[in-house]
């Protein structure tokens, strides 16, 4: 039976809200940023695999050539988390989240460069607007410190890695990969990539209190497993254009959570730049063929 339209749309907004909480969990985590990234996926593995095994209809289809793509997706997601968690610690939650959401712009740029898919004029207009908004965000960071500027740069690198993850996932889904197996397998591969990086980084690997563990469990179960799962469910029942809703809703909610929970203010320049970035992302999504 097809779910009522309101149910997938509600799941989309709730999933985006859960993911928007992740910068808060990362900011208050007692573990280092890379270690927090490792625990984010590692603690989500038991429920993801149990849910996958409990649903026979979610079993992955048999097809050739999936492991290179799974490895690519896991590696790209690991890079995404490493740079995004570092950005969250170095710059504002609003900046780090907005810049990470430039991923959809980089996806179309990659298709343009490597697949010779000429973008539409609407995408180019969105790209120009997004870049103008990024310039304002960077200008705002310059008024604070060079550390925030480095965090902004890490946010842009995050978007590049996440674009690679999106492209790998797109290839996997086109070959019949199911959502649950995709999440469980890529999370496992991501954790395997992140563990040695966390050890080598010198980060504090373990939290020092029950509160610290609670924040890591919340990050893993609420933001990673539930947030990503709800969005994956919703997009299976909604038109592709609705994906832009989660893309725009998440950074807005993240900035709101940072303001309420972390007392992190937004300057007028930041707010203007953020709105321009959101508008640019929206136009770029509308003008994308992917």
Q: Is residue 241 part of a domain?
A: yes
Q: Is residue 122 part of a domain?
A: yes
User: Which stretches of the chain are DSSP H helices?
Assistant: 6-20, 22-28, 33-42, 45-54, 66-90, 93-100, 103-114, 121-142, 146-174, 179-201, 210-218, 228-235, 243-261, 268-286
Q: Is residue 133 part of a domain?
A: yes
Which whole-number Å values give the CA distances from 43 to 36, 88, 194, in the listed order?
10, 20, 13
Q: Is residue 145 part of a domain?
A: yes
Q: What is the pTM of this model?
A: 0.85
Q: Is residue 1 part of a domain?
A: no
Give pLDDT tens digits for 1-15: 555 557 877 888 898
Give pLDDT tens digits for 228-283: 778 777 766 666 555 655 667 788 888 889 888 988 887 888 888 888 888 887 78
Q: Which among 45, 38, 59, 25 has a CA at the least distance from the CA of 197?
A: 38
Which structural domain, as residue segments, surrounds residue 216?
6-286
Domain count, the chain: 1
Q: Is residue 203 part of a domain?
A: yes
**Residue 218 to residue 220: CA distance in whole angstroms:** 5
């Amino acid at each position: 039976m097809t779910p009522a339209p309101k149910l997938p749309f509600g799941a989309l907004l709730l999933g985006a809200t859960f993911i928007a909480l992740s910068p808060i969990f990362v900011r208050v985590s007692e573990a280092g940023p890379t270690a927090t990234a490792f625990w984010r996926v590692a603690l989500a593995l038991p429920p993801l695999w149990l849910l996958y095994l409990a649903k026979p209809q979610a079993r992955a289809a048999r097809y050739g050539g999936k492991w290179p793509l799974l490895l690519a997706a896991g590696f790209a997601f690991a890079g995404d988390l490493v740079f995004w968690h570092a950005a969250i610690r170095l710059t504002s939650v609003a900046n780090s989240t907005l810049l990470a959401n430039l991923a959809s712009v980089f996806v179309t740029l990659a298709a343009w460069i490597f697949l010779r898919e000429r973008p539409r004029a609407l995408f180019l207009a969105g790209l120009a607007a997004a870049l103008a908004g990024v310039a304002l965000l960077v200008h705002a960071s310059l008024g604070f410190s060079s550390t925030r500027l480095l965090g902004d740069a890490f946010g842009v690198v995050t978007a590049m890695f996440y674009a690679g993850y999106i492209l790998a996932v797109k290839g996997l889904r086109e070959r019949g990969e199911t959502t649950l197996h995709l999440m469980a397998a890529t999370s496992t591969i991501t954790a395997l990539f992140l563990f040695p990086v966390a050890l080598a980084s010198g980060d504090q690997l373990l939290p020092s209190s029950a509160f610290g563990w609670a924040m890591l469990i919340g990050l893993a179960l609420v933001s990673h497993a539930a947030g990503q799962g709800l969005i994956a469910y919703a997009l299976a029942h909604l038109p592709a254009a609705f994906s832009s809703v989660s893309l725009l809703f998440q950074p807005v909610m993240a900035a709101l959570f940072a303001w309420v929970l972390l007392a992190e203010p937004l300057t007028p320049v930041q707010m203007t730049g953020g709105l321009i970035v959101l508008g640019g992302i929206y136009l770029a999504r509308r003008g994308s063929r992917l």
